[in-house]
Amino acid sequence: MLRKLLLVTFLINSLFCAGQKKLYRSYNYFAFLAGERTGQQLTTIHGLEKGSWFAGAGTGLDRYELLSLPVFLSGSKYLFPSSNNLLFTINAGMSFPLEKKSEMLRTAVKANYPARPFGEAGFVYRFQEESMKKGQGILLGVYYSYKGMRIKQTLSGNCPNPPCADTYEYINYELHRWAFKLGLAL
Amino acid sequence: MVFNNVLSAYENYVMKPITRLLLPLLPVFLLAGCLKDKVTRTYTIFTPVYKEKSVVLADVVKPLAGRSVQNAGKIYVYGNYLFVNEINEGVHIIDNSNPEAPVSKSFINIPGNVDIAVKGNILYADIYSDMIALDISNPLQAKVTKLTSNLFPERNYIGSNGWYFTPDTSRYIVGWTRKDTTVAYESPEICTRCGIVFDNFATFANASSSGATVGIAGSMARFAIVNNYMYAVGLYSLKVIDVATPSTPSYKKDISIGSGIETIFPFKDKLFIGSNRAMYIYDISVAETPKYTGSFPHVRSCDPVVTDGVHAYVTLRAGNFCGDITESRLEILDVANLAAPKLVKTYPMKNPYGLAKDGNLLWICDGTAGLKLYDVSNPADISLKKSISNIEPFDVIPMNGKLIVSAKEGILQYDYSNLSDIRLLSRIQKK
């Protein structure tokens, strides 16, 4: 899954930049996540900027319910190209859990945490100091952020005559948060 | 003055920018509580499928000519006859006088059958939760001589949560329909009766029912006949059945062992019982009252056992259903002191099922890795002698240099009297 995502990212980047003057850009954020519970997120997005558009790929750490590694594609558009200050951004990809929950079903013998969808959409404002180069700046953003999570538990059972088919139970999490992001465009 | 300057600078350069930045976000902070996480639990509901016992039993006595082996299960050798379980369907009776050309004599339709044993002319077989005794003097005209009800109640449920489904006595549960369902999950509470849920519950009711030669079973067997007693393992217990009069077996008692009981292997006056937690040894010198002698615990896994009286050979199969271990293995135990078996050594395996010992040779059905033959003359350093990798074996019985193998591919017989030239004698395969 991770490999496929990286391949798609590479292809999109290649298409987006074909025959155009491209400018490398990175966006690096710390976010405070607030929903039914709270959490933190660190992300870094790297890609290419052309005019008022930006496309890239990002990853990071997302500590909300469970620590996970989001890997995603990112697309942005400066809403007012004259000033290039207000940015609308969409991130879409997968979230790979990095830790496990302590609770298990009594009859479970094994728990897997498969990758699940990850997505964000929001507005970012860029404050550019005089000392900074064009395109660089301090970023302040508000996003709606979604993180999926699933615990696939393999249950033990009565198997008097092996081999027996496995039985599973799934705990599905659809986590909705606001992400308040502070970052740097480099 | 200095203080006022600092305060002013703080107001201008710290507080104002922060206020300017955060003020527009205030409504968003307030809205944060509007977002709710959705946590659901997806599980499987099993619903029993019933059939009237009278209908099922009427099918058993219907004479059927031999048919091809489709889904071979456990095997049992009795004289020149080979009995092959067709999983959940019945028993093939095969004339094996000539292992190079076995002849299928008849097929006895026994729905829900997975285990078999033979004494004299009587075939014992499980039929869903019951045990049936059949006179097979004429294999084409098998006759029911006795039906012992509810000997295997674990066949009436799926799951290990301590809940059973008890059908009324006139019906069998012949299958389960499954349907996945999703409901809200009350995190972080750990559910205690989850995963597999029935459409109805009832607590378990205890089973209330009730000098011929015997055959040889494979290591995956759950039935064993020793002299005048048949021992059958259920999921939790050892069942003692008097078969002194073979045609009318008489249930005597249940001896609780533990959970996850899987296989039984008789050796002289001892029973070696494989469970998914341990190997147990029971003394049957007083045949009707097996007595616990010793055990050797292991991590949760699926495990048949065989012994030569000095060592016990236990295969531990890993896999989701089988439990905690991630790598399958063979454990060799020193059972000289039956009360306290000791581990001699473990050897890695791929996917082991049944095994069998003949002298210093140990055959292991290593599932997808094929059939393996080891020299175990030194249990602390066994060596692989031969490997037959183009089959997926499940159970094996060696006899006088001939090997009978139940495999995914059907029933295969080999001649291993010359180890440097193990020869395939015959193959009864799926058609």
Q: Where are the beta strands (DSSP E) in chain A?
A: 23-35, 38-50, 53-64, 66-78, 86-97, 108-112, 116-127, 137-155, 167-185
Q: Is B157 exposed, middle or buried (0-12, 13-18, 19+ CB in 10 A)?
A: buried
For the cut 70, the answer to whether the pLDDT of residue A8 exceeds it is no
> Comparing C-alpha atoms, which of A38, A60, A1 is closest to residue A175?
A38
pLDDT over 80 at A73, yes or no: yes
DSSP string, A36-64: SSEEEEEEEEEEEEETTEEEEEEEEEEEE
For residue B150, being part of any structural domain is answered with yes
**Which residue of B114, B182, B317 is in closest CB contact with A161?**
B114
Is B222 near chain A, with CB under 8 Å?
A: yes
Q: What is the amino acid identity at position B266? A: P
B225: enclosing H helix or E strand:
strand B223-226
Which of B62-76, B94-108, B114-128, B243-257 is least confident? B62-76
Average model confidence (pLDDT) across chain B = 82
DSSP letter for B162, please.
Answer: S
- Segment B374-386 shows an average pLDDT of 94
Q: Do you know the residue count of chain B?
A: 431
Tokens matching residue B197: 């849920």
Q: How far apart are CA B285 and CA B279, in angstroms?
A: 19
Is there a domain that residue B100 lies in? yes
Helices (H), B84-142: none
Best residue in B115, B189, B321 for a mutation probing chain A (most A CBs within 10 Å): B321
Tens of pLDDT, residue by residue over B287-333, are 999 999 999 887 666 778 899 999 999 888 876 555 555 678 899 99
Q: Is the CB of residue B94 less than 8 Å from the CB of residue B82?
A: yes
pLDDT digits (tens, 9 = 90+) for B357-378: 999 999 999 988 999 999 999 9
**Is it the case that residue A36 has pLDDT exceeding 70?**
yes
Q: Which residues contact B394 (CB under 8 A, 6 or more apart)?
A: B72, B73, B220, B353, B354, B365, B367, B406, B407, B408
CA-based angle B309:B389:B277, to the nearest 5?
A: 40
Identity of the residue in B21, B42, B188 whose CB atom sits nearest the CB atom of A170: B42
Structure-token pair, residue B344: 């001699």
Distance from CA of B211 to the nearest CA of A (A): 30
Quick check: is B94 in a domain? yes
Residue B53 lies in a domain: yes
Mean pLDDT of B220-228: 92
Looking at the complex, does the CB of residue A182 fall below 8 Å from at least one CB of chain B? no
Q: Does the pLDDT of residue B246 top 60, yes or no?
A: yes
Please tell me whether the interface predicted TM-score (ipTM) of this complex is above 0.90: no
Is the minimum CB–CB distance between B320 and chain A shorter than 8 Å? Answer: yes
Question: Which residues of B fall within a CB distance of 8 Å from A107?
Answer: 159-161, 194-196
Question: pLDDT tens digit string along B107-135?
Answer: 999 998 999 999 989 999 999 889 999 99
- What pLDDT sits at residue B228? 93
For A176, the closest of B21, B35, B155 (CB atoms) is B35
The residues, any chain, with a CB within 8 Å of residue A19's CB and separated by 6 or more, are: none
Mean pLDDT of B181-191: 65
> What percentage of residues in chain B have a pLDDT greater than 90?
44
- Amino acid code (one letter) for B309: G
Which residues share a beta bridge with B101? none
Residue A70 has pLDDT above 80, yes or no: yes
* Average pLDDT of chain A, as a whole number: 81
The residue range of the domain holding B87 is 43-217
Number of domains making up chain B:
1
**Tally of CB atoms within 10 A around B305:** 26
Q: What is the architecture of the domain spanning A2-16+23-100+114-150+174-185?
A: Beta Barrel (2.40)
Q: What are the tokens at B9?
A: 């600078």
Q: Is the sign of the CA dihedral B199, B201, B206, B210 positive or negative?
A: negative
As a whole number, mean pLDDT of residues B188-210 equals 36
Residue of A65, A106, A164 lying closest to B321 (CB–CB):
A164
